[in-house]
Amino acid sequence: MSSSSCMDSLSLLVVSAFLLFPTALFQLSNGGVTSSFIRKSEPSVDMPFDADVFQPPPGYNAPQQVRIMQGDHEGKAVIVSWVTPSEPGPRIVFYGMAEEKRRYKAHASSVTTYRFFDYSSGFIHHCLLKNLEHDTEYFYQIGIGESSRQFSFKTPPAVGPDVPYTFGIIGDLGQTYDSNETLSHYLANQRGQAVLFVGDLSYADDHPNHDNRRWDTFGRMIERSIAYQPWITTAGNHEIDFAPEIGEVAPFKPYKRRYRVPYKASQSTSPLWYSVKRASAYIIALSSYSAYGKYTPQYQWLQNELPKVNRTETPWLIVLVHSPLYNSYNYHYMEGETMRVQFESWFVEYKVDLVLSGHVHAYERSERVSNIAYNITNNDATPIPDPSAPVYITIGDGGNIEGLATNFTEPQPSYSAYREASFGHAILDIKNRTHAYYAWYRNHDGNAVLGDSVCFYNRYWGSNER
């Protein structure tokens, strides 16, 4: 796709945005744009247990909280996970293409339960479907008789430099009415083929004793998306579930039991950091809440991982990490600073295209800047424009129980291109090896409305255009 056609898409959407919002929504400051759109300031509350989207499917012991995840490094395998509430269910997954939907079968490799304080989980099944064809729709069936359920997914095209692919981007989702609206908007958008999820899923830990029933309700709420397309997850602070006061001292227990990722396929030793290739993208998920200092397993893994990325095969290099490295809100100030100091020079050296984060419950997109010159004596510690640097996007605006971050650092720093305190989601539409169209949509009075959009030029193949 040519640069001009990407610009045509942009122009059209910008015009649409102004037609929808004739009144000025933006104010310019020393930096970029701070949107003056003010969202309603009602408190965010989790939906009650009897909300429609939390209801289990009918039938005795019917599989629920069904989800899929990429199961290998290349996109030819899928992990199917589900929970049965009353007893271990049949381990078999039948799957196949349209003409013969039950042609193949696979067996769940594990069925586990866990306890968390006074909560006992259902029976968590994980089943790997492998040797799949690329770019193919598969149907799969779990359970038996009246309790059986059928879903489908489409495998990604074979990895290649000019393969178009569209990702949704969601973070800090939770299970409030706003969370549900964000998810509905993403589904209505219909363009996303997989989700890049930047951490903080259920927010169960905001309830007494980390009420793990909220992991179940969350799993049922998101099934309408995640049973049909993978959510490539990274862990946030709300996945830690470290609660020594109630005897729970194993960090990430519910998350790791429930959400499987193919970390071994990228030679990682932990599900908290791993990579996958998908179409023309190479996605690296990192953990803000695991050690990343020099010599640690995560540091060593990333050090070995970045040189492996072949931009001739996967031009788009995307990092997911929960805590933002650049953030101009007055929330979580400097929490991402130690990782920035540790890893930013690598992100610049390897020309990472995008670093996607959550944690701050609002939206922000940076300019391409770096701050890697400081050496203790040179006082050189200010972010500067850098064409080799990633764009940093903070998108912790899924709509969780903790509400919006509405307080900005003033004046807006020069590295901040656009920021707005609204809930929403984004779409990253990779066109080819050089261009990707990106758009962020706010939740606006029940609608998803374009708030920010930009054409990204690939750092490896594109020009040095900022």
* Residues with a known catalytic role: 332
Contact 174, 412 (CB under 8 A): no
Stretch that binds Fe ion, among 195-203, 263-271, 309-317, 372-380 (CB under 5 A): 195-203
Beta strands (DSSP E) in 250-339 are 274-278, 281-285, 316-320
Q: According to CB under 5 A, which residues from 373 to 412 bind Fe ion? A: none
Q: Which of 210, 311, 359, 431 binds Fe ion (CB under 5 A)?
A: 359
Task: Reduce the DSSP state of residue 370 to 3 states and report it.
Answer: strand
Q: Which of 310, 321, 320 is nearest to 280 (CA)?
A: 310
Contact 199, 336 (CB under 8 A): no
Helices 213-226 and 177-189, packing angle to 10 deg: 20
Q: Which two tokens stand for residue 327?
A: 């953030």
Stretch that binds Fe ion, among 181-189, 273-281, 358-366, 408-416 (CB under 5 A): 358-366
Q: Which of 290, 205, 271 is nearest to 239 (CA)?
A: 205
* CB 332, min distance to Fe ion, A: 8
Comparing CB distances to Fe ion, the nearer of 237 and 280 is 237
Stretch that binds Fe ion, among 212-220, 311-319, 353-361, 365-373 (CB under 5 A): 353-361
Comparing CB distances to Fe ion, the nearer of 174 and 383 is 174
Closest CB to Fe ion: residue number: 359
* CB 263, min distance to Fe ion, A: 21
- String marking each residue 421-440 x if it binds Fe ion according to CB under 5 A: --------------------
DSSP 8-state class, residue 248: B
* CB 402, min distance to Fe ion, A: 9
Stretch that binds Fe ion, among 103-111, 200-208, 399-407, 411-419 (CB under 5 A): 200-208
Comparing CB distances to Fe ion, the nearer of 122 and 399 is 399
What is d(CA 436, CA 165) in angstroms, rounded to the nearest whole number? Answer: 9
Contact 34, 27 (CB under 8 A): yes
Element (H, E) at 425: strand 424-430
Q: According to CB under 5 A, which residues from 224 to 263 bind Fe ion? A: 236-237
Contact 337, 302 (CB under 8 A): no
- C-alpha count within 13 angstroms, C-beta hemisphere, residue 255: 26
Comparing CB distances to Fe ion, the nearer of 236 and 399 is 236
* CB 322, min distance to Fe ion, A: 6
Comparing CB distances to Fe ion, the nearer of 359 and 442 is 359
- String marking each residue 38-77 x if it binds Fe ion according to CB under 5 A: ----------------------------------------
* CB 359, min distance to Fe ion, A: 4
Q: According to CB under 5 A, which residues from 162 to 191 bind Fe ion? A: none
Question: By rule CB under 5 A, what count of residues binds Fe ion?
Answer: 4
* CB 255, min distance to Fe ion, A: 13
* CB 120, min distance to Fe ion, A: 27
Stretch that binds Fe ion, among 56-64, 192-200, 216-224, 384-392 (CB under 5 A): 192-200
Contact 205, 327 (CB under 8 A): no
Comparing CB distances to Fe ion, the nearer of 64 and 237 is 237
Strand partners, 424: 442
By CB under 5 A, tell whether 200 contacts Fe ion.
yes
Comparing CB distances to Fe ion, the nearer of 239 and 452 is 239
Comparing CB distances to Fe ion, the nearer of 200 and 216 is 200
Nearest-10 Cα torsion for 204, 208, 209, 215: -20
Q: Which of 373, 369, 364, 277 is nearest to 324 (CA)?
A: 364
By CB under 5 A, tell whether 287 contacts Fe ion.
no
Which of 33-40's residues contact partners 24+ apart within 8 Å by CB, and which partners? 33/417, 33/418, 33/419, 34/408, 34/412, 34/419, 34/420, 35/418, 35/419, 35/420, 35/421, 35/422, 35/451, 37/420, 37/422, 37/442, 37/444, 37/451, 39/404, 39/421, 39/422, 39/423, 39/442, 39/443
* CB 142, min distance to Fe ion, A: 32
Q: Under the rule (CB under 5 A), what is the footprint of Fe ion?
A: 200, 236-237, 359
